[in-house]
């Protein structure tokens, strides 16, 4: 019997973490970190009242993983202290714990670490890192800490990841919840959107997971992970509503003053050539496939009813 190598996914119970754990499970024995002792499967239960560095170090000694992925992060909670803990302190502590660990280290960064560009320009890895939001600044500080402590790490700067199990706080996650409620109540859905001319690069979460699997054996430094196509957020919402088959209308609300600056640039398009060259990776899922998967499958990968 051949013993498989091990992978540790920090944040493996989150939206992207679940997709990543599933992709890595094809080649590795995967363990995920969690703060919930009731989570099934191979887990390392972290105690938030104790130091994470020591807990990470103990897990690394016990598991001796070949690959460590940091998929943890704080995106949606309006709590600056929580963002700093999740986006800066946690990756720094994990990188410190890995000082003597030979495992491949893959850290999920964010496209919002970059500064704004004007359309139709694509964002390459050499684009200035001048984030416009607090979230982007904390993610950039986390990336800097990882690369300072582990120069051989791979930082995947993920653009707008979408897929089954998205947070209901996200635009598409909220749209799914609105459409499902309307279908259950047999009425048209009223989808509220901010009146903003935003275009984003939306990438399937399964493609992000495939990029992590590719980075487990090759690449280093910062690598963009996106679809290579920019789409208006409203167009994607309409396309999802059409996939659902639920009647709908869109109501636009005035955006709060300064909202665009708070969340980032109004145009993002990923240059993904380095991902192809360094990782041998390219996105496989088109938008229609992604939207059908979002609608038909729930957060745990089960077909929705």
Domain at 6-296, CATH homologous superfamily: NAD(P)-binding Rossmann-like Domain (3.40.50.720)
Where is 69: in which H helix or E strand? Answer: strand 67-70
Do residues 153 and 106 make contact, with C-beta atoms less than 8 angstroms apart? yes
Sketch the domain layout of the chain as residue ranges: 6-296
Tell me the DSSP string of 226-255.
S-S-EEEHHHHHHHHHHHHT--EEEEEEPP
Coil, helix or strand at residue 141? helix
| Radius of gyration, alpha carbons of the chain | 19
| Residue ranges of E strands in 140-214 | 154-158, 160-162, 189-194, 199-204
pLDDT one-digit tens code per residue, 252-293: 988 766 554 445 678 999 999 999 999 999 999 999 999 999
Tens of pLDDT along 77-124?
A: 889 999 999 999 999 999 999 999 999 999 999 999 999 999 999 999
The average confidence (pLDDT) of the chain is 93
Query: pLDDT digits over 242-256, tens only?
Result: 999 999 999 998 876
pLDDT at 261: 44
């Amino acid at each position: 019997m051949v013993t498989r190598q091990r992978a540790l996914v920090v944040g493996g119970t989150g939206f992207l973490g679940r997709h990543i754990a599933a992709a890595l499970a094809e080649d590795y024995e995967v363990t995920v970190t969690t703060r919930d002792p009731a989570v099934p499967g191979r887990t390392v239960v972290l105690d938030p009242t104790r130091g994470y560095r020591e807990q990470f170090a103990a897990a690394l000694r016990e598991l001796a993983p070949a690959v460590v992925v940091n998929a943890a992060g704080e995106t949606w909670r309006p709590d600056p202290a929580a963002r700093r803990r999740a986006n800066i302190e946690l990756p720094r502590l994990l990188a410190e714990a890995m000082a003597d660990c030979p495992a491949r280290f893959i850290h999920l960064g964010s496209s919002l670490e970059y500064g704004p560009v004007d359309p139709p320009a694509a964002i390459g890895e050499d684009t200035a890192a001048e984030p416009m939001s607090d979230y982007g600044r904390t993610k950039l500080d986390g990336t800097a800490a990882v690369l300072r402590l582990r120069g051989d790490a791979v930082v995947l700067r993920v653009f707008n990841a979408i897929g089954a199990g998205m947070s209901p706080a996200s635009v598409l996650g909220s749209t799914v919840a609105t459409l499902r409620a309307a279908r259950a109540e047999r009425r048209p859905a009223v989808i509220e959107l901010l009146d903003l001319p935003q275009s984003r690069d939306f990438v399937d979460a399964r493609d992000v997971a495939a990029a992590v699997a590719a980075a487990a054996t090759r690449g280093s430094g910062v690598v963009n992970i996106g679809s290579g196509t920019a789409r208006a957020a409203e167009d994607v919402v309409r396309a999802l509503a059409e996939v659902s088959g639920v009647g709908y209308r869109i109501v636009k609300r005035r955006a709060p003053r300064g909202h665009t600056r708070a969340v980032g640039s109004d145009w993002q398009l990923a240059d993904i050539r380095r991902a192809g060259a360094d990782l041998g990776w390219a996105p496989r899922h088109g938008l229609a496939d992604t939207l059908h998967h979002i609608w038909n499958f729930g957060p745990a990968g089960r077909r929705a009813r």
